[in-house]
Each structure stands twice: as structure tokens, then as C-alpha cells.
Structure 1
Amino acid sequence: MLELLKSLLRWLLGTQEKPVERPAPPTASKPAAPKPAAPKPAAPKPATPQPAAPKPQRPPRTVPVPKQGRQLAYAPQLDGDADPGEIVWTWVPYEDDPAQGKDRPVLVVGRDARTMLGLMLSSQSDRDGQRHWMALGPGDWDRDSRPSWIRLDRVLEIDEDGIRREGAVLDRPRFDRIAAILRRNYGWP
């Protein structure tokens, strides 16, 4: 009776069980033919790593304090070219391992044809009070408006083709404050 009720319930709900197919017992008259081998699945292609910021052909390099011919200047023009007074993004090599580096903001402080002189920025708060670093404050170059610090003792020489994008224009009072410190403490002309 219970089996009859179960069958009736399955029929009403539309969930009837399908009959189980059982293989026929093998016959002695004919041996079974071997099954063809299934094709091997193609090996998955490894994911291609995407670099965060490819190195420019001629990466920026650290140079000594500029001497004659390369002056500090303030001449920002948002025209697609990196000009003094603008903060641009470029690949900057690490000081302890120049073969490695990262994309970071750089303040352009001078220009000589297609070569720019720049000072790197950092948003690491542990820079406060460190020698050779000056608090710059927040700016449009950082999408999160974090305060930034600028490194005054490491001058980067950057080829124009190594610039990724223009980030912002640094206001004249902050640029003039940086220029005064560079002239007074670091021997800039």
C-alpha cells in the first residue's frame, strides 16, 4: 500500500522514476569489440601575466645635481608634453636594484629638449621627518588624495618617451618652495 501511495504521489508531482536499464549479459558467441580511445583534451593555455607598468625603452636614471645649462623652471602647459611644474607618471627603477622598479608620480623640475629632470613622489606616510624628503601634501596626481612626499636628493633623468601620462600641475607656491630648498641645500643653479 505504501508503494502505491508513493507511486501516486510521484505521478501527481511529475517526478516518476525512470526504469533502470540493465546491460544484457554477454553472449559467448561474439567477443566484444574494443572501444576507440577518446581524444585527449587540449592542454589549457597558461595565463599570460600582464605587467603593471612596462619599463620604457630607456628607463629613467639617477643623475648628479645638474650643473650649467639645466635650470629649475616652472612652465606647465597641459599639452601632452611633460613640462616643468607638472607631475607625470613614469617607471622609476629602485635605487637598490635598478633592474626592478614601479610606476610612480614624478615632479618635472627641468627640461632639456626630449630629456626631463624629475624628482619622485611617494605617498608612504613614514617619510615624514626623513632626511631628503619634503612633505608636499595631497594633489590631483593621487586619485585617493593621499598626502605625498617628494625626494629631493635623487634626480631622475627621464626620456620623453618614458612618460606614461600627465598627472597634474603642481601649484606655483609649492614648486617655488621646492626650488628654494634645491638651490640652498643641494647646489642647484
Structure 2
Amino acid sequence: MRRGPRVTYAPHRDGRPDPGEVVWAWVPYEEDASQGKDRPVLLVAADRAHVYGLMLTSQDHDRDAAQEARAGRHWMDVGSGGWDREQRPSEVRLDRLLRLDPSAVRREGAALDRPRFDAVVAAARQFHALG
């Protein structure tokens, strides 16, 4: 089995994107990579050239979880945090691992606490070979 990026938890409020932080970056749409939107992303890993993350949304997918799962999309509640000015509850998409150039990250939003980070990573490992 191919080994994926190595997971670390190392948030530092230093202006650089670090695993454990929720950052803002442009995320391409799956159906058309030439289009996308700026959205929060939970960084879970990094290597020499990239950071890896899972996108967040404030949309509630609990109501349509079965439909989302049939479409191959799996979500997990992570609560609210400083990444959302309105402090709305967020969900993280577990099945889509994003590889981002660190220069594409626009700003740090907040750090996810370690217990929530660990729970997200454990759930995401169902879908990704994370180191």
C-alpha cells in the first residue's frame, strides 16, 4: 500500500500554514477544476512542497447524510471556531484530501484543538493512506 503524507499536529500562529490549523485557500470544484471557491481547510499533513487538508463547510449535511454517502461524500461535525466570523458549526469532508501549495493559503483562521484534530484524522483514515 502506498503511504500518504505523514500526519502531524503542529499549529503555530506564525503566518505559515501548519497541520492542525484551519486556513483559507482556493479549493477547485470536483466537477470542474477550473472553477472553485475560497473556503476553510483543516490542514492535517505537510511535506517539503505541499500541505494537505480537508475542506470545511458551514452547510449541515446531517439531514442528507445517506444521500451524501451514496454520492461518495462523507462529513464529520467539528463544531465552531475562529475560522468562521459568525461562529457557525462546521463539518469537515473526510473523503477528499486536498494537496495545496503553501503559497496558495491566504490566511490562518484558527487551530483545531488536539482531541478534535485526532478524531478527524482517525475518521479520514477510512478514506486515505495517511502516515
TM range (shorter): 0.7 to 0.9
**What is the CA–CA distance in structure 2 between the aligned matches of 1:146 and 1:110, rounded to whole Å?**
25
Q: Say whether the 8 Å CA contact 1:80–1:166 is kept in structure 2.
A: yes
The answer for the alignment partner of 1:19 in structure 2 is none
1:45 corresponding residue in structure 2: none
Contact 1:67 1:188 in 2 (8 A): no
1:22-33 matches, cutoff 5 A: none
For normalisation by structure 2, the TM-score amounts to 0.87
Q: Could you say which residue in structure 1 is the equivalent of 2:119?
A: 177
Q: Which residue of 2 aligns with 1:133?
A: 75
Instruction: Tell me what 2:12 maps to.
Output: 77
Unmatched 5+ residue regions in structure 2?
none
Question: Which of 45, 56, 81 is matched with 1:110 structurally?
Answer: 45
| Maintained 8 Å contact 1:84/1:107 | yes
Deviations 1:116-174 (A, max 9, x none): 0010001112x123431111111110000101000011011000110110100000010
Which consecutive unaligned segments of at least 5 residues does structure 1 have?
A: 1-65
Q: Residues 96 and 144 of structure 1: is their aligned pair in 2 closer, same or farther, counting only changes over 3 Å?
A: same
- Equivalent positions of 1:58-77 (< 5 A) are 67-68=2-3, 70-77=5-12
Q: Tell me the SS of whatever aligns to 1:140.
A: coil
Q: When the two structures are superposed, what TM-score results if normalisation uses the length of structure 1?
A: 0.61
Larger radius of gyration: 1
Amino acid aligned to 2:42: L
Kindly indicate whether the alpha-carbon contact (under 8 Å) linking 2:24 and 2:38 is maintained by their aligned counterparts in 1: yes
Deviations 1:28-85 (A, max 9, x none): xxxxxxxxxxxxxxxxxxxxxxxxxxxxxxxxxxxxxx94362111111111110000
Residue 33 of structure 2 is aligned to residue 91 of structure 1 = no
Which of 46, 54, 65 is residue 119 of structure 1 equivalent to?
A: 54
Q: Give me the identity figure in percent.
A: 54
Decide whether the 8 Å contact of 1:70 with 1:111 is kept in 2: yes
Q: Root-mean-square deviation (CA), in Å?
A: 1.6
In structure 2, how many angstroms separate the alpha carbons of the residues matched to 1:69 and 1:100? 26
Give the whole-Å Cα distance in 2 for the aligned partners of 1:81 and 1:114: 13
Matched-pair contact (CA < 8 Å) for 2:5–2:130: no
Distance of 2:78 and 2:89 partners within structure 1? 7
Q: Which has the higher strand share?
A: 2
